[in-house]
Chain A
Amino acid sequence: MNLLKRTAKTLASPLLAIVLLVIILIASVFGAVLYADSVQALIIKDINEIVFHSNWFLVLNLLLLINITGCTIRQISIAFKRYKKMKAKDVQAKKLFLSPLFHIGLTLIIMGAYVDYFAGFEGNLPMQPGVTVADSRENYLDLDERPLSNKKYGQFSLLLKEINFKYNSKGAISSGLVTVFQEGEAAFSQVLDSSSPIWLSMVSISKESFHYYIKYRVEGKNGFLIDDRSLGLDTTFPPDSTKYSRDNFRPENTPYRFNIEFFPDVDIVKGQYISASYQLINPAIFITVHNGEKTVFSSLIKKGETVRFSDGNRFTFESVTPYLYLRVQSVLGTYILAFGFLVFTTGLLLYYTNNSRMGESQ
């Protein structure tokens, strides 16, 4: 019993809090050092796995959570005892709870991070206009299902009517009108972009990125297939307002290296290829093809066209498909964390404004 009491006292001691904070601080500095390019070059493992997503770092934070929770419980019990002794109307009495308040906030922050880490869910859903996408495991790309995630699939289906795309001073902006189906019926429709997510209880669906997929085919002199693929062009950070580029793309098992510029609606102004509009009207690619050291082709190809490289092989620009990539996330952990942050900041502010001489030297 004595040992149990002593362990509980140690786990809830302010000294342990300082020791843990210092260890986490040193670990964080070490973790940050790993991000240096020179260090990264020496490490094959995912850098986050070494420190921030490692088991020992999680245990450290768990100890900190236990410590702060213990401290908070002790503070609350002391505050209650003192509160009872003081007169209820005494303003000083209420101040007793300010320190436990920001400690509760801190506890919630760590708890929220844990809930997100262990019970969160995150996945990317690609959507093509006119095609219904169901919330099923096989439809997700880059799925991150956490160990304790209780995500049940089949909660919704989404139908993208069309993708609207425009360019202004803020950059490339794409959005789509999405209809949400729940239990087989159309529940509601909403314009989806990165700043206006769809909320389904504790799940948020937001636009992650917008891609153009260019489908092409390369055939040899005798008609044998050299390459046939859909090449994605991420439009998140377009290099300029009129084209989407992919340089030094090397299709596997081919001798080629491509530099591709894609124009959704090609036009020629002052000898320069530009997009007349940002909608998919008259798509074309300007492609430069290298075979080893030699440039075997460099010209504009419109959709549906076939051209011949100087090495005799043929290239066909078959089609282009726009895709919205959606991020589906469980946000419970984030909610707990955000609430904790609010409680912590408010508590800290109130604590120090009401105890302005707390840390003064005697």
Chain B
Amino acid sequence: MNSLELQVVLLWTAVTVYVAATILSLVSVVFRKPVLIKFMPILAVVGFIPHTAAIILRWVQTGHFPYWGKYEVFSSYPWALIFLYLAVVVLKRDLRLSGVVVFPVALFMVGMALTGSTEVKEIPSSFLTYWLGIHVAFAKLAFGSALIAAFFGILYLLKERVEITGKENVLTQMIKTPVTADYFSYQFTVFSLITMTIMIGSGGVWAYKAWGRYWGWDPVEIWSLVCWFIYGIILHLRTTMGWKGRRAAWLSIIAVFIVAFAFFGMPTIYETVHEHLEY
């Protein structure tokens, strides 16, 4: 079995685990079995191990951080997402609940990766710098935290409704008050803004090394700036205008779609130096 075949086997193993975790989350929500959510971190670890091995093998095979082509981009994004999930669960057990959104998204992304070309492409020399690795790593963390922030935004809205109707579901049961959901959403919004800031900064250094300019109004650059503005505005509204709770929840939900469009939609629609999704 060669390196590529082994990678695909490892990714399929991870997919299988993520499928199991997605089913588990569906069962727990639909059949009201909150106890099942406790198993999510275990499944995350079980899936994360072969996923990590596949990423390392790809890195060794290509000689660069996996950021080139659909296969590499969509296998490393869910890896970062699961990594973020495990990291936050270690820090705060209550956050294991976010697996309900993390696993289906990770599953979808690995599925996308497996539809991409696994061929090793020669990449432009401008893409061979550690700064790009830092830029890409923080982009993944920014997306992951934006996703979790939006999830807790949804949870806030659900929990708020429970306070009116009195009807709890599995998700709302696991969170004490709407304030807790709002707080978690806020924390991940902050984390997303900080990681986006580092993403843009390191991207600027990469661009300077590659093209002699730190900013070039490339469509993806502009949309990254738009995302950064949005998260900045959300936090500014929160601290200066008191936009918390319902308004902040809706903003975080809308924001994650804009981030997803900026990161995955823009490079496929526009002619851009961010040509990593062409294959």
Q: Do these two chains really belong together in a complex?
A: yes
| CB pair B217 A31 closer than 8 Å | yes
CB distance from A145 to the nearest CB of B (A): 16
Chain B contacts for A341, CB-based, 8 A: 197, 201, 204
| CB pair A359 B236 closer than 8 Å | no
Q: Considering only CB atoms and an 8 Å cut-off, how many residues of chain B contact the other chain?
A: 48
Q: Is A21 an interface position by the 8 A CB rule? A: yes
CB distance from A311 to the nearest CB of B (A): 38
What are 12 A-B interface contacts by the 8 Å CB criterion?
A: A21-B233, A22-B233, A29-B222, A32-B266, A36-B269, A37-B271, A52-B217, A169-B63, A337-B214, A348-B194, A348-B197, A352-B190
| CB pair B240 A32 closer than 8 Å | no
Q: How far is the CA of A170 from the CA of B124 in the complex (A)?
A: 8
CB distance from A32 to the nearest CB of B (A): 4
Q: Is B235 an interface position by the 8 A CB rule? A: yes
Interface mask (B238-279 → A, CB under 8 Å = 1, otherwise 0): 111100110010000000000000000010011100000000
| CB pair A14 B190 closer than 8 Å | no
Interface segment, one of B45-53, B89-97, B103-111, B181-189: B181-189
Q: How far is the CA of A192 from the CA of B237 in the complex (A)?
A: 49
| CB pair A36 B270 closer than 8 Å | yes
Given A32-B219, A362-B179, output 14 extra A-B contacts at Cβ < 8 Å. Answer: A14-B241, A21-B229, A32-B222, A173-B125, A194-B209, A327-B212, A334-B214, A338-B204, A338-B214, A345-B198, A359-B248, A361-B178, A361-B183, A361-B244
Interface mask (A3-28 → B, CB under 8 Å = 1, otherwise 0): 00000000000110110011011001
| CB pair A24 B229 closer than 8 Å | yes
CB distance from B208 to the nearest CB of A (A): 7
Q: How far is the CA of A126 from the CA of B214 in the complex (A)?
A: 22
Contact of B230 among A25, A36, A171 (CB under 8 A): A25
Q: Is B23 an interface position by the 8 A CB rule? A: no
Contact of B245 among A22, A206, A361 (CB under 8 A): A361
Query: Known: A21-B236, A25-B233. Is A208-B212 also a contact (CB below 8 A)?
Result: yes
Q: Is A358 an interface position by the 8 A CB rule? A: yes
CB distance from B140 to the nearest CB of A (A): 18
Q: How far is the CA of A204 from the CA of B124 in the complex (A)?
A: 23
| CB pair A32 B226 closer than 8 Å | yes
Chain A contacts for B24, CB-based, 8 A: none
Chain B contacts for A92, CB-based, 8 A: none
Find the A residue at minimum CB distance from B234.
Answer: A359
Q: Is B142 an interface position by the 8 A CB rule? A: no
Q: Is B100 an interface position by the 8 A CB rule? A: no
Chain A contacts for B219, CB-based, 8 A: 32, 35
| CB pair B198 A237 closer than 8 Å | no
* Most A Cβ at <10 Å: residue of B222, B233, B235, B248: B222
Q: How far is the CA of A250 from the CA of B223 in the complex (A)?
A: 38
Q: How far is the CA of A329 from the CA of B63 in the complex (A)?
A: 32
Q: Is B56 an interface position by the 8 A CB rule? A: no
| CB pair B223 A32 closer than 8 Å | yes
Within 8 A of B (CB), among A29-48: 29, 31-32, 35-37, 48
| CB pair A360 B236 closer than 8 Å | no
Interface mask (B195-212 → A, CB under 8 Å = 1, otherwise 0): 001100100100011001
Q: Is B87 an interface position by the 8 A CB rule? A: no
Q: Is B193 an interface position by the 8 A CB rule? A: yes
| CB pair A206 B212 closer than 8 Å | yes
